[in-house]
Amino acid sequence: MIIASATSGPDAHQEWWRGAVIYQIYPRSFADTHGDGIGDLKGITAHLDHMASLGVDAVWISPFYPSPMKDFGYDVADYCDVDPVFGTLDDFDALLAKAHGLGLKVILDQVWSHTSDQHPWFQASRQDRTNAFADWYVWADAKADGSPPNNWQSVFGGPGWTWDARRGQYYQHNFLAQQPQLNGRHPAVQEALLAVGKFWLDRGVDGFRLDAVNFMIGDPGLRDNPPLPPGGKRTRPFDFQYKIHNQSHPDILAFLKRVRALTDSYGDRFTVAEVAGDLAAREMKAYTAGDRHLNSAYGFLYLYAERLTGERVKAGAEMWPGEPNEGWPSWTFSNHDAPRAVTRWAEGRDERQLAEMLLLLLVCLRGNVFVYYGEELGLPQGEVPFERLVDPEAVANWPQTLGRDGARTPMPWKADAPFAGFSTVEPWLPIDARHPALAVDVQEADPTSMLHATRRILALRRAHPALKTGDMTVLTTEPLLSFSREGDDESLLAVFNLGHEPQTWVQPEGYSIIDAVYRGEAGTLPPLGGVLLRKQVI
């Protein structure tokens, strides 16, 4: 039995973000008003009413800053402006004002581990070894034979070092060669990044999602990473190493305290870390501990999982048991970096049924909920032919992985409009042939649609405080996943059949059903069935 408590931390029931539902927007793929096939800020603003109607508390917008788009916005060339393809700062201010008018908070991505190689900081740093920006990035001399300084590998494949003839040194990059690694421990770099945060906080944003935060600082001695034992799926050289020196340095914690001090100085702001890698569970706990680090963190427990099991849900509860001074978790089943969950986990089952069950399960977990655009429609992973792939990871690993492009295809708004109402011209990624039938206008007209189910399920968070901030106790994992959520004034029980066969299940005495998906006949719970019950007060 695993018990996770929500009582740790100061003012556990006061912060707007604790237990919030946050809708993630990938701006290139949301709505195009410029007529260039790429989504933009005005497109987001035009559909804020849609997000508000879902019942979410906030929107998280992936990067829209000036960028060469080698990694589609996660290679930032200017942290304090808007790329013309997305619009202008005035467009952002209008977006923010409308969102706030609708009661929606706005969270921005901050990519502070690395920049674009076109960022002025790097352009200055690479000129020589004595300029004011010389140490703003991780530079190192070649070995005696001219090879890179160590064995660190890039996430996207190949060595994590690129030679620069002007300096006569290698620069480090954990991702693309066009994404040089910032020297996150340098005082001037930290001051510059905090100034970026202040710029957006001054404009009124409500918080930040910190991208790849555990890559911000590595080992100053540049020691080699040790090899991992044989076994497991490996599609990149990166997968062969235990990444203990190119990331995860303890000095990251001191910088996160500075970030928290900045956001706290603006009042009720929210910070969430993205943490991936071999040490993710430990790092998420460290990065959110007490009241001086970040508010929340999420990792890839579900995002890269090929199967959804009760044991995996149990592992998440064990990761965040609610100990004193523990941070607060966030959970997501899909995002811009992973294939959509309904495709990963369908295993031949009905994707529509799976989508509804997954959303009910996600809402019942203890922690914040991230809903990725299109999940409210039950969108499957988009099919993108090789000749239309643009994601560097997808191209490099094709056809061994589904890649990220299929999770980034355009949002379908109108079934009968050109390009499903996303744009008036051919979009940057193709519209999957299955998606127009799932468009927003079609589902709005169908009271049995996934869109209407989404509104019903998300409303449970506001109607039942135990779901928002209550304790979680995992009762069983197989053949049925069951757990309780306990709040001050209510006791809830959630039961799910994650398998392929019907399972015997009898509604317990003293409980009434408050929501159910594919409940089936009395005495059984069919595959992909889920039930949420409330203990009756006598």
From edge to edge, which strands make up the β-sheet containing 491-496? 2-4, 471-476, 481-486, 491-496, 530-535, 511-517
In contact, 467 and 461? CB cutoff 8 Å: yes
Q: How far apart are CA 175 and CA 115, in angstroms?
A: 10
DSSP H or E stretch at residue 164? strand 161-164
Based on the residue annotation, tell me whether 446 is a catalytic residue of this protein: no
In order of 14, 208, 323, the CA distances from 491 in angstroms are: 20, 33, 21
Radius of gyration of the chain (CA): 23
Q: How far apart are CA 202 and CA 153, in angstroms?
A: 38
Neighbours of 143 (CB within 10 A): 11
Q: Alpha helices of 152-287 — where are they, by DSSP H?
A: 187-203, 251-264, 280-287
Reading phi first (left if > 0) and then psi (alpha if -120 to 50, else beta), residue 303 is in alpha
Residue carrying structure tokens 């294939």? 339
CB proximity list for 265: less than 8 A, separation 6 or greater: none
Amino acid identity of residue 125, one-letter, is S
Residue tagged active-site, from 274, 376, 393, 515: 274
Q: How far apart are CA 216 and CA 183, in angstroms?
A: 8
Query: Which among 514, 507, 427 is positioned nearest to 39, based on CA atoms?
Result: 427
Amino acid identity of residue 299, one-letter, is G
Residue carrying structure tokens 């790849």? 212
Residue tagged active-site, from 71, 211, 283, 356: 211
Tell me the torsion sign for CA atoms 367, 208, 273, 334: positive
- Rounded to 10 degrees, the C-alpha dihedral 439/444/445/451 comes to 80
Q: Alpha helices of 337-399 — where are they, by DSSP H?
A: 341-344, 351-364, 392-397
Based on the residue annotation, tell me whether 40 is a catalytic residue of this protein: no
In contact, 316 and 308? CB cutoff 8 Å: no
Pair of tokens at residue 162 = 């690129």
Active site residues: 211, 274
